[in-house]
Structure 1
Amino acid sequence: MTDLQPPPPEETTARPRRRWVRVVLVLSLAANLAVAGLVLGAWITHDGKRGPDGPRGERDRIVRELGFGPYSRAIPREGREGMKAAIEPHRGALRANRDALRGAFEATLTTLRSAPFDRAAMAAQMAAQRDAIAANQKIGHEILLDRLEAMTPEQRTAFADRLERGLGREPGRKKKGD
């Protein structure tokens, strides 16, 4: 019969208190890990760099806007600095193309929300977007070709190596099946 007696009152109150302390400790640890993760993530992604060798900012935006794709990542930092001077004479055309692209997208949003769907209007807006992007790419490609032509063979080889790394391949190694 002694087994059926309730435990003394001290033991009953101690057990919930321990559980509450554990819950608080686990929540505190989770919050600390979350804050540490946020700080670490911000430090890694917002350290003032875009890619392995370039600052964020106007120069990189302009280079990206020209539609270089992987080529823009292969341009070394000092080369990006020089791109601004090469782009300057084309600034008006680039701005006009950007404005045309923005206008085409605004029209696209209206077309997408209208009923019934106007396929011809959408096709015209997509063509306007394509034309604006192609015009920027043409300017960018001419500038890039001028820069590549002015490089020494060693500089072009280094550019090719950076481009190859940007494409996810080890410089100088052929892809499987090549």
Structure 2
Amino acid sequence: MSDPKKQPNKPPKPSKRFRILLGLSLALNLLVVGAVVGVIVKGSPSNRGPSGVRETALPYVGAFELEDKRAMRQEMRARLPKRQETRAAMDAGYREFVEVVRSEPFDATRAAKVMEEQFERAGQFQRVGREVSIERISEMSPEKRAAYADRLEYRLDNPRKRKTRKER
């Protein structure tokens, strides 16, 4: 019959790559669950207001008059790469980062370079926005600059009393 000292065939141990992918998948799932729970508990990000860079820029941009905002938006579109190009480059960067993370051995220098390139693309939008804003303010008369400063100060002192989207 069977030898009692022999152990039955055990399934092979999963490869290191499979275990890493499983760990990443679990981490991503936990991140999604955490985000959903956060939205349920605190409300959506639109209910809490903007965050990060957008939060920093919002008072400056919001204090401009509607016609200034429209002109600045057109100027930024003229100076920046087309949206489709930017999105394609960002997507390619994200996918390259995924490849770097999955590669063995992990190349932290390359990962940092890919991430830095992504932040550079975002920074370009911020730089152009600052340039256009300062140019617009420089072109204002002293009276218009004073009115802009008043609107900015009001927004800073009354952050909850913002205009509705239709009024912007």
TM-score for both structures, normalised by structure 1: 0.46
TM-score, normalisation: structure 2: 0.48
* Larger RCO, structure (CA 8 Å, separation 6 or more): 2
